[in-house]
Amino acid sequence: MSSLFEKYGGDPFWRRVLDDFYNVNITDPALQAYFVGRDVERVKAMNAGLLKAALGTAENHFFTSIKRVHVGLAISSPAYDRFVSNLFQILRDRGVTQEDLEDINDVVSSFRSDIVTI
């Protein structure tokens, strides 16, 4: 059985998802402040690796601490929820099934305590 990462087309699919995700987030008035002075292309590249590790096979690893990366960003619960909502809307728009959305939500939710810092 293929991983969720491969099921939808691997790198090309998830890079398009990330492009859409960051295009939405950098224009979202509730989130755009998180991107001021940030290298969004670098952030997307890091998240591509995270997605591959989180949704891929056991051979995929992500060696960066999620907590360390987010510690200085002061991300609140409402901001995190908005990020997640934006992500899931994009995934629905791109045809990800409800069953797979639930599995992805389990993965995304596992990062919450490392990302929300205020």
Instruction: Specify the pLDDT at position 57.
Output: 65
Reported CATH class of domain 4-115: mainly alpha
What's the chain's average pLDDT?
87
Tens of pLDDT, residue by residue over 51-96, are 888 888 656 555 566 677 766 777 899 999 999 999 999 999 999 9
Question: Does the structure show a pLDDT above 60 at 1?
Answer: no
SS3 89: helix
Question: Does the structure show a pLDDT above 70 at 48?
Answer: yes
CB atoms within 10 A of CB 5: 19
Locate 26 and state its tokens: 């950098």
- For tokens 């994009």, what's the residue? 90
User: Rounded to an integer, what distance in angstroms lies between the CA atom of residue 7 and that of residue 96?
Assistant: 10
Contact criterion met (CB below 8 Å) for 53 and 76: no
Contact criterion met (CB below 8 Å) for 18 and 26: no
Contact criterion met (CB below 8 Å) for 57 and 32: no
Element (H, E) at 15: helix 11-27
Instruction: Specify the pLDDT at position 41.
Output: 92
pTM: 0.85
- Geometric angle at alpha carbon 100, from 98 and 103, rounded to 5°: 115
Confidence of residue 49 (pLDDT cuts 50, 70, 90): confident
- For tokens 């059985």, what's the residue? 1
Confidence of residue 46 (pLDDT cuts 50, 70, 90): confident
